[in-house]
Amino acid sequence: MKAPASAVGKTQAPSLKLAAWSVGLAAISVLPSPRLFGQDIHFSQFFNAPYALNPGNIGAFEGDYRAGAIFRQQWRSVTEPYRTFGLGGDARDVAGVKGLGGGLWLFNDRAGDSKLNTFHIDLGASWTQRLDNAGQHSLTGGLQVGITSLSIDYNALSFDSQYNGFYYDPSLPTNERFTGDAVSHLDLHAGVVYRFVRNRRETIEGGIAYFNMTAPNVAFNSGPVSPLDGRGVLHFTSSFPVSAKVDVRPMFQYMGQATFREFDLGGSVRYILLDRYSLWRTVLAGLYWRASDAGYLFAGSEYDDWTLGISYDLNFSDLVPASRNRGGIEFTAVKVFRKKPPVPVRFKACPTQL
């Protein structure tokens, strides 16, 4: 969160449940104390933003193609709203090469009174290695290479020299010298993700990623070099059934960038409305906590190959007098496409004939 300056059967699987909690607690135990905020953009629904979370998510899904979109607005009650829009897509087994993934991710972020605008686009590739004959365990490594453009609108700012002794007069000179209002740089990100998928209700996923590997210069006005710090990400998600119709999905995300830290911990409950043949209909509700800063509520739905989500942040930091506990609202949508559409329920599925 940016600071306001800028068919499993009908029984649960105890072994999977124990493994999920063990991995999650073990990872949490080695994390340093969480601190506030980060520098790169990131999202509350990290679990629904695969391209922004880890390059190792590219091509790692069940299907042939996937597309996702995300929109976030925050700090509307404090200053000029911060708005972020992201769009991505990826493919599995590119060019018929089993295990090869490819993807595209772009986002645009506009922040604060200065209208600081960040536009980023990258191309990514990944390789997935199956670790067992059944294909339940896999390891995916990915890279993203892209470009980021930053710009600022100095005309949207006001300065003390524009106060004429009685009121602010925008016609007065700023007495500031600006030599540039835009800068761009190359980006390189890498990550790896481990997955265990027994079925769509029993999963474990953990990954680590590192962003801004080239430490690009982000200084405006030909000033001293200001390298963008690298950002490390550790994340874990899991899902396991607790009854015939209910799954629990605990997860966390930890990020560190220079002296800034962010730790998100929480989970959601999934209630299954329909699980029959190719039909998969669920509703989700969750609660998350961002250390020392905010909590957020989540609601979502899975409708066959669609995943939809909405979340709202409640601010608990020192900014409460200005924010009035209001943080940000976020919407996500992910769609999986398949070359061979599922067989309708009214027909009996038969093997594909060669």
pLDDT tens sequence across 94-121: 999 999 999 999 999 988 777 789 999 9
Judge whether 46 lies within some domain. Answer: yes
Q: What pairs with residue 255 in β-bridges?
A: 233, 262
In this predicted structure, the answer to whether residue 17 has a pLDDT above a threshold of 50 is: no
Q: How far apart are CA 216 and CA 234, in angstroms?
A: 22
Q: Tell me: the pLDDT tens digits for 219-267?
A: 876 667 888 899 999 999 999 999 999 999 999 999 999 888 999 999 9
Judge whether 274 lies within some domain. Answer: yes
Judge whether 5 lies within some domain. Answer: no
* pLDDT reported for residue 12: 39
Judge whether 351 lies within some domain. Answer: no
| Number of independent structural domains in the chain | 1
Q: How far apart are CA 198 and CA 187, in angstroms?
A: 35
Instruction: Tell me the average pLDDT across 67-94.
Output: 87
In this predicted structure, the answer to whether residue 32 has a pLDDT above a threshold of 60 is: no
Judge whether 3 lies within some domain. Answer: no
**What CATH number is attached to the domain comprising 109?**
2.40.160.40
Q: Tell me: the pLDDT tens digits for 285-330?
A: 999 999 877 899 999 999 999 999 999 988 775 554 444 556 689 9
Token pair 């601190």 in the structure block, residue = 35
* pLDDT reported for residue 173: 78
DSSP state string for 234-290: EEEEEEEESSSSEEEEEEEEEEEETTEEEEEEEEEEEEEEEEETTEEEEEEEEEEEE
Q: What type of residue is 50?
A: P
Nearest alpha carbon to residue 249 among 329, 309, 328, 335: 309
Q: How far apart are CA 55 and CA 59, in angstroms?
A: 9
Nearest alpha carbon to residue 256 among 109, 36, 3, 44: 36
Token pair 């119709």 in the structure block, residue = 245
Nearest alpha carbon to residue 79 among 157, 160, 4: 4
Domain of residue 301, residue span? 14-337
Instruction: Tell me the average pLDDT across 143-152.
Output: 93
Q: Are 330 and 318 in contact (CB under 8 A)?
A: no
Nearest alpha carbon to residue 305 among 337, 351, 327, 261: 337
Judge whether 213 lies within some domain. Answer: yes
In this predicted structure, the answer to whether residue 75 has a pLDDT above a threshold of 70 is: no
Q: How far apart are CA 76 and CA 83, in angstroms?
A: 10
